[in-house]
């Protein structure tokens, strides 16, 4: 006998003011009964419907009364004395009713019917306007309404599918069972059943051997209906409650009659329903496992890609082999900037997302009682963090090394150019000097010529001494180029060595010529003092002009306003000496003019140029004019450099202004996020929304950071290496920005995991707030974790008996092993709510999954692939078949699979 005693819902059924049967509101199924009231009041008057209800309700009553060895013929006559009505209620309820009265009088009949109606009311059904008198008088509509109320209460009310009940639950059950069948679309309990295919589909779904469904035709409804009715009566013990001709011949079959008949199918297949429930549980578990495996595969793939990128990038960042030219080093610097701007930021996001995915996966595994995910060797989060740390260590100092190398090469180019200039000037000066010193003209010269040669040689020695400083400068520059590892040091050294060797040879030749001239010095009696004085004053003046021209053409490199202003000041000081130099020039030229005036006035024939020097007035005037031309050029170059340094200073201040705004903003956001993660304001969804608003504000702030990057690039392109206007460097800002993005993403993920935990475990918002409030109260340092003593105090405040006695210590140690399995000495909030949710809620276990498989297997210790494919969706059935080991028990059958070991593997050995 079917058990109908589980429900507590109330129904009412009675005549409406319109004269028809109806159902009134009341009880937990008020909405459903209110809908019944509308169509029942109007449509029960339809004779076709009344005929269908009489036949169906009579057959339904007889299906139960035959268990007591009796039946009814006329539904509105056979229940008038109340005896069979009371018997019917005893059979379907399994309970005893009060002893009936056996008298034949009207009062006896009314008393019996009232006993039946009282019993119905005791089951939570509120009967309105249905009285014993109407039943005793044989009122057909009242009697049918009463029987419908009994059918609703004892045959339909307890049907529940996916949290729906009664009519909607029965309809959903029909839809799910007939969904795979062509030409079947169950939307109601009237016209959806007219062609008979839905009845045949229900039978075929549960007993496919009884129906040849593919041979049925939609255009032959009478055959379809009779086939289903006959099979149901013959093999399923469901009496024929409907007539095929009545259903086909009615525009809209009676809904109550169809529902009553379909409910018999539901109860007949209740065993299959249990199997479906078991299959649903298994599908849910397998879906979780498949999703987790997909997340694990994604993690392994993303971790491998990120580690491979780190592995490829680190050697490039650790390569410190310098290039030979500034252009090559600047290209390396530009490549590094592309890496920072283009290549690294997506990898930062990938690393952050990988950590978030890992935490989410572990949370899902924990919530579904699965073992924790252990990535393959070398792909742990710690491995990725170690690789990332190695990457940042390699990155640190690489940019500084590039800039230092560029500065070194720039200085080398400057020194090399300076070396070439001074070497060229010196070589031009020494050109022909060796040949001049080797002349033996003094052997045939006159006394005056000899004296002139002696004076000339003295002037040359003076000139030679003046050039000593330049030779030393050339040697010093060559030495510095060698120390700075100049790439063309070989040619520099060769040229310097040639200059030094030539200088030594000039010294030796000068000494030899002086000795030769001194031998004839006694022959020298006179010398033209004016020429001599001219030569002595012209030579240093000429050297001064050459040095001035060197200085005016000298290259310079400065990095600050102060340095360029120092050069401008030195240049202004040099210009202030020009009037004195001009007067010296005029004095020297006056000596030359005086010598010519004396020679002319004394009719002395001069032998051409001044015998004591090669520096003629034309040379002096030419070089002086050159100096005059170089002064404004030097002015222009210094002013250009001053403008450049002023521009650089503007870039410094511009960058400092932006950095001094961005840096504190990042710090402020970090502190605000920290406060949000500690404080408890509103629901978790409110906190999540608040955090995402912060995340959007952070993303919206990215243009400010991009602007700062642009300003930083301008500074680097200008080769600016210091900035006294700010304490923030671009590296500090980048690190802070990356930490900010990572922190907000991790904080959002923590709240999402808390929501996931709350929803999966059925924790209410009030419980979550209580957990957060208790945790924050004992988290005195706001560090986001509790020490053992803080955690114990928190547990005591929540009602746990973990006081300092033997039993309390044992319980506390048990809890600590759960919340701190690694013995770190700290309990995070996530571990805390995981523990609290496990303490207060239930989840599926390996035992439950094994029990579900056992139902599908028909209580066998193994299951077959055929059974799995019949009961589970195709993808999940194949998933199980591929992973289940063959069953090795003594009762094993061909193709038997071991579902127990498979279920155990889903949860880990420790659960069993």
Give the helix ranges, DSSP H, for 762-805: 765-778, 788-797
Q: Per-residue pLDDT tens for 68-126?
A: 889 998 888 888 888 888 999 888 888 898 999 888 898 888 888 888 888 888 887 77
Which residues make beta-bridge pairs with 863? 897
H or E stretch covering 14 = strand 14-15
Mean pLDDT throughout 626-653?
A: 85
Q: Per-residue pLDDT tens for 726-779?
A: 888 888 888 889 888 888 888 888 888 878 877 776 677 677 767 777 777 777
Domains in the chain: boundaries: 279-411, 432-615, 661-837, 846-907
Mean pLDDT throughout 258-274?
A: 80
Its pTM surpasses 0.95: no
pLDDT of res. 38: 36
Q: Which of 611, 620, 610, 627 is nearest to 587 (CA)?
A: 620
Q: Per-residue pLDDT tens for 13-30?
A: 333 323 333 333 333 333
pLDDT of res. 624: 92
Q: What is the rounded distance in angstroms from the CA atom of residue 86 to the CA atom of residue 111?
A: 11
Confidence label for 186 from pLDDT (cuts 50, 70 and 90): very high
- What's 556's DSSP letter? -
Q: What is the rounded distance in angstroms from the CA atom of residue 713 to the CA atom of residue 724?
A: 18
pLDDT of res. 231: 92
Confidence label for 422 from pLDDT (cuts 50, 70 and 90): confident
What is the pairing mode between strands 827-828 and 160-161? Answer: unpaired
pLDDT of res. 221: 92
CB 442 within 8 A of CB 518: no
pLDDT of res. 524: 35
Confidence label for 606 from pLDDT (cuts 50, 70 and 90): low
Mean pLDDT throughout 472-482?
A: 85
393-to-97, 383, 390, 738, 845 alpha-carbon distances in Å: 87, 15, 5, 16, 47
Which residues make beta-bridge pairs with 15? 21
| Topology classification of domain 661-837 | Methane Monooxygenase Hydroxylase; Chain G, domain 1 (1.20.58)
Q: Which of 403, 155, 379, 133 is nearest to 261 (CA)?
A: 155
Residues 6+ apart with CB under 8 A from 305: 350
- Measured in residues, the chain has a length of 912
Residue 3 has pLDDT above 60, yes or no: no
Q: Return the SS3 of 908.
A: coil
pLDDT of res. 557: 78
Q: What is the rounded distance in angstroms from the CA atom of residue 386 to the CA atom of residue 393?
A: 10
Token digits of residue 414: 């400057």
Residues 6+ apart with CB under 8 A from 851: 278
Higher pLDDT, 366 or 624: 624
391-to-143, 395, 403 alpha-carbon distances in Å: 86, 6, 20
114-to-27, 80, 243, 524 alpha-carbon distances in Å: 21, 11, 33, 169
Angle at 480 between CA 474 and CA 482, to 5 degrees: 105
**R_g over Cα of the chain:** 54
pLDDT of res. 161: 66
Spacing of C-alpha 254 from chain mean position: 59
Q: Return the SS3 of 15.
A: strand
Residues 6+ apart with CB under 8 A from 527: 451, 452, 454, 455
Based on the number of CB atoms within 10 Å of its own CB, is 569 exposed (0-12), middle (13-18) or buried (19 or more)?
exposed
Query: 């045939």: which residue's tokens?
Result: 444
CATH architecture, domain 279-411: Up-down Bundle (1.20)
pLDDT of res. 705: 87
Q: Per-residue pLDDT tens for 126-169?
A: 776 778 888 888 888 888 888 888 887 777 776 766 666 678 88
- What's 155's DSSP letter? I
Phi, psi of 783 (to 5 degrees): -90, -5
Higher pLDDT, 758 or 239: 239
Give the CA count within 13 Å in the CB-facing half-sphere of 603: 0
Mean pLDDT of the chain: 80
304-to-312, 347, 395 alpha-carbon distances in Å: 12, 13, 21
Token digits of residue 487: 């790439």
Residue 605 has pLDDT above 70, yes or no: no
CATH of domain 846-907: 1.10.238.10
CB atoms within 10 A of CB 858: 10
Q: What is the rounded distance in angstroms from the CA atom of residue 878 to the CA atom of residue 856?
A: 15
Query: 């109550």: which residue's tokens?
Result: 256
Confidence label for 599 from pLDDT (cuts 50, 70 and 90): low
pLDDT of res. 17: 29
pLDDT of res. 1: 29
Q: Which of 185, 368, 172, 370 is nearest to 276 (CA)?
A: 172
Based on the number of CB atoms within 10 Å of its own CB, is 440 exposed (0-12), middle (13-18) or buried (19 or more)?
exposed
* Crossing angle (nearest 10°) for helices 578-601 and 561-576: 30
Which residues make beta-bridge pairs with 785? 828
Q: What is the rounded distance in angstroms from the CA atom of residue 827 to the CA atom of residue 771?
A: 13
Higher pLDDT, 324 or 34: 324
CB 48 within 8 A of CB 250: yes
Residue 467 has pLDDT above 60, yes or no: yes
Neighbour-count burial for 618-645, b at 16+ CB within 10 Å, e otherwise: eebeebbebbeebbeebeebbeebbeeb
Q: Return the SS3 of 861.
A: coil
CATH of domain 432-615: 1.20.58.60
Q: Return the SS3 of 39.
A: helix
Q: What is the rounded distance in angstroms from the CA atom of residue 345 to the CA atom of residue 480?
A: 42
pLDDT of res. 608: 62
CB 745 within 8 A of CB 352: yes
pLDDT of res. 285: 81
Determine which of 362-376, 395-409, 856-870 has the lowest per-residue pLDDT on average: 395-409
Same fold, 279-411 and 846-907: no
Q: Return the SS3 of 827.
A: strand
Tell me what percent of the residues of the chain surpass a pLDDT of 90: 7
Residues 6+ apart with CB under 8 A from 853: 278, 282, 863, 899, 900, 903
Residue 842 has pLDDT above 60, yes or no: no
Q: Which of 387, 389, 375, 378 is nearest to 311 (CA)?
A: 387
Tell me what percent of the residues of the chain surpass a pLDDT of 70: 88
Based on the number of CB atoms within 10 Å of its own CB, is 495 exposed (0-12), middle (13-18) or buried (19 or more)?
middle
Based on the number of CB atoms within 10 Å of its own CB, is 738 exposed (0-12), middle (13-18) or buried (19 or more)?
middle
């Amino acid at each position: 006998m079917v058990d109908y005693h589980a429900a507590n819902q109330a129904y009412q059924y009675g005549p409406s003011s319109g004269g028809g049967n109806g159902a009134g509101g009341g009880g937990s199924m008020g909405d459903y009964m209110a809908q019944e009231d509308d169509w029942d009041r109007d449509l029960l008057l339809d004779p076709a419907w009344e005929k269908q209800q009489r036949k169906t309700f009579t057959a339904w009553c007889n299906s139960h009364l035959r268990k007591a060895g009796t039946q009814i013929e006329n539904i509105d006559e056979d229940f008038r004395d109340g005896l069979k009505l009371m018997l019917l209620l005893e059979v379907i309820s399994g309970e005893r009713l009060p002893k009936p009265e056996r008298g034949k009088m009207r009062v006896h009949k009314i008393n019996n019917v009232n006993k039946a109606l009282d019993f119905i009311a005791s089951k939570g059904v509120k009967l309105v306007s249905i009285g014993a008198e109407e039943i005793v008088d044989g009122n057909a509509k009242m009697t049918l309404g009463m029987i419908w109320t009994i059918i609703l209460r004892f045959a339909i009310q307890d049907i529940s599918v996916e949290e729906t009940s009664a009519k909607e639950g029965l309809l959903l059950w029909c839809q799910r069972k007939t969904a795979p069948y062509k030409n079947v679309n169950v939307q109601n309990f009237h016209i959806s059943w007219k062609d008979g295919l839905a009845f045949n589909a229900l039978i075929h779904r549960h007993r496919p051997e009884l129906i040849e469904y593919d041979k049925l035709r939609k255009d032959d409804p009478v055959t379809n209906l009779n086939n289903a009715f006959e099979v149901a009566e013959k093999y399923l013990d469901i009496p024929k409650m409907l007539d095929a001709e009545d259903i086909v011949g009615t525009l809209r079959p009676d809904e109550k009659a169809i529902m009553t008949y379909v409910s018999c199918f539901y109860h007949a297949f209740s065993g299959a329903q249990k199997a479906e429930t078991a299959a649903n549980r298994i599908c849910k578990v397998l879906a979780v496992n498949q999703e987790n495996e997909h997340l694990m595969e994604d993690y392994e793939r993303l971790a491998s890609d990120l580690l491979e990128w780190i592995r490829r990038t680190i050697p490039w960042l650790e390569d410190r082999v310098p290039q030979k030219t500034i252009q090559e080093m600047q290209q390396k610097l530009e490549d590094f900037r592309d890496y920072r701007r283009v290549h690294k930021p997506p990898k930062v996001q990938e690393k952050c997302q990988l950590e978030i995915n890992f935490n989410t996966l572990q949370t899902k595994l924990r919530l579904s009682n699965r073992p924790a995910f252990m990535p393959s060797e070398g792909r742990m989060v710690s491995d990725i963090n170690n690789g990332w740390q190695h990457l940042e260590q390699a990155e640190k100092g690489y940019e500084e090394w590039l800039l230092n190398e560029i500065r070194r090469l720039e200085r080398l180019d400057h020194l090399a150019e300076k070396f070439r200039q001074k070497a060229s000037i010196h070589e031009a000066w020494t050109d022909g000097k060796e040949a001049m010193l080797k002349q033996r003209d003094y052997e045939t010269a006159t006394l005056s010529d000899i004296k002139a040669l002696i004076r000339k040689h003295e002037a040359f020695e003076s000139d030679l001494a003046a050039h000593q400083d330049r030779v030393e400068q050339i040697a010093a520059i060559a030495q510095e180029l060698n120390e700075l590892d100049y790439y063309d040091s070989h040619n520099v050294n060769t040229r310097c060595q040639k200059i030094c060797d030539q200088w030594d040879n000039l010294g030796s030749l000068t000494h030899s010529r002086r000795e030769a001239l001194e031998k004839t010095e006694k022959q020298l009696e006179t010398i033209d003092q004016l020429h001599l004085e001219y030569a002595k004053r012209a030579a240093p003046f000429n050297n001064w002009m050459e040095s001035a021209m060197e200085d005016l053409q000298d290259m310079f490199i400065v990095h600050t306003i102060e340095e360029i202003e120092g050069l401008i000041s030195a240049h202004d000081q040099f210009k202030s000496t020009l009037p004195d130099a001009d007067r010296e020039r005029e004095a020297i030229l006056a000596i030359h003019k005086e010598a010519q005036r004396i020679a002319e006035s004394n009719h002395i024939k001069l032998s051409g140029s001044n015998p004591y020097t090669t520096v003629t007035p034309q040379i002096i005037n030419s070089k002086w004019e050159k100096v005059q031309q170089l002064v404004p050029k030097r002015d222009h170059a210094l002013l250009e450099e001053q403008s450049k340094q002023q521009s650089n200073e503007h870039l410094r201040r511009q960058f400092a202004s932006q950095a001094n705004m961005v840096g504190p903003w990042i710090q402020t956001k970090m502190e605000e996020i920290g406060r949000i993660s500690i404080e408890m304001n509103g629901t978790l969804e409110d906190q999540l929304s608040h955090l995402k608003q912060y995340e959007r504000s952070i993303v919206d702030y990215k243009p400010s950071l991009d602007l700062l990057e642009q300003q930083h690039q301008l500074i680097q392109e200008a080769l600016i290496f210091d900035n006294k206007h700010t304490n923030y460097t671009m590296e500090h800002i980048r690190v802070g920005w990356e930490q900010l993005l990572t922190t907000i993403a991790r904080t959002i993920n923590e709240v999402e995991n808390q929501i996931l935990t709350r929803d999966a475990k059925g924790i209410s918002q009030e419980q979550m707030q209580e957990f957060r409030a208790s945790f924050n109260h004992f988290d005195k340092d706001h560090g986001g974790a509790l020490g053992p003593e803080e955690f114990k105090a928190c547990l005591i405040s929540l009602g746990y008996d973990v006081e300092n006695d033997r039993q309390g210590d044992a319980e506390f140690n048990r809890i600590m092993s759960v919340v701190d399995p690694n013995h770190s000495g700290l309990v995070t909030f996530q571990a805390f709510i995981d523990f609290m949710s496990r303490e207060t809620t239930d989840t599926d276990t390996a035992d439950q999954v094994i029990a579900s498989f056992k139902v599908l297997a028909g209580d066998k210790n193994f299951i077959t692939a055929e059974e799995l494919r019949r009961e589970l969706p195709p993808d999940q059935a194949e998933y199980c078949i591929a992973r289940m080991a063959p069953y090795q028990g003594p009762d094993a059958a061909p193709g038997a699979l071991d579902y127990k070991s498979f279920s155990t593997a889903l949860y880990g050995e420790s659960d069993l």
